[in-house]
Amino acid sequence: MVQEKKLVDEVSGWLRAYDDGSVDRTWTGPPEVKFMAEAVPPHEEFIEAVATRDVTIDSNSGLRVRIYLPEQVLTAKIKLPIILHFHGGGFCISQADWYMYYHIYTRLARSVPAICVSVYLRLAPENKLPAACDDGYAALLWLKSLAKGESHEPWLNDHADFNRVFLIGDSSGGNIVHQVAARAGNLDLHPLRLAGGIPIHPGFVRAERSKSELEQPESPFLTLDMVDKFLALALPVGSTKDHPITCPMGPAAPAMEGLNLPPFLFCVAEKDLIKDTEMEYYEAMRKANKEVELLISPGMGHSFYLNKIAVDMDPNYAAQTTGLIAGIKEFVNKH
């Protein structure tokens, strides 16, 4: 007799976890937005001035990255900065090749211009934290091995400036920016230089609900259900949201003063559910005398720029997305 597996948890159309440990990530929300969570195959020819390639960077673990190469490399007299990207998804969903990232990171690669390297992070609950942070750190160490000539990836070795490496992450990927930057601060990365960190709407929260969580509107990219359930699935067993990965400004985390961090561009959306705790992090950075700039997107919700439908249809979304990209470009060009 076949045992029926039982549903243990379900998260807002994104994920269903079963009692046998299996996870179903088939999108069950509105079908008209499904395309944003579909994979875009790599293409080594330039399409809209960007080529993409998937590379396995660790044959033992199978860790992969997607590289976005802007066509400007063919005419640029100088090598381009590297933007190392960590995708969002509450540590539980999404992939580096999803259309929602493809549409914005091809644009960022063209606009800066820079070579973007996006990591295929391991997902929870199958791989609980700090697995995704370890993958982000491993990707930075791979870039160091390229800079030292210990391994070779032609798109990067031929066209990248390893003296200007920036970490960027959306939502939970912003948490990984902090973790990887903090770890890298204890390391001699030479000849690579970590030039900056760009957390965008990072998933910084506390066990206790913030005022903005209670008052701000939920959005397609962030509901309280997602905040609570994704983090419960992702954090180590027995942990609360006060864990250092989700609350790096809290008492359980290493003191900010003791961290050797590069300059940060900290991006916040005015209507983000978790804006209050994000601002606590920003204030903790300032109090610790870290170099941190604040970029606020007025009237916008969490990860608004990933919503291709809204960016195409709503002039305000489009303008705020353009503003965000301009802010990132200015920060990268300054460092």
- Examine the residue annotation and report whether 20 is marked as an active-site residue of this protein: no
Mode of pairing for the β-strands spanning 194-200 and 264-269: parallel
**What DSSP element (H or E) covers 152?**
none
Contact 85, 139 (CB under 8 A): no
Among 159, 178, 243, 302, the active-site one is 302
User: Cβ atoms within 10 A of the Cβ of 53, count?
Assistant: 15
How many Cα atoms occupy the beta-carbon half-sphere of 223 within 13 Å? 8
Closest CA relative to residue 170, chosen from 65, 114, 94? 94
- Catalytic site residue 302? yes
Q: Which helix (H) or strand (E) holds 68?
A: strand 63-70
Annotated catalytic residue within 94, 118, 171, 239: 171
Active site residue 272: yes
Q: Which of 135, 170, 272, 276 is catalytic?
A: 272
Measuring CA to CA, which residue among 128, 127, 105, 108 is closest to residue 118? 105
> Which residue reads 């180590």 in tokens?
236
What distance in Å separates the CA atoms of residue 172 and residue 132, rounded to the nearest whole number? 10
Catalytic residues: 171, 272, 302
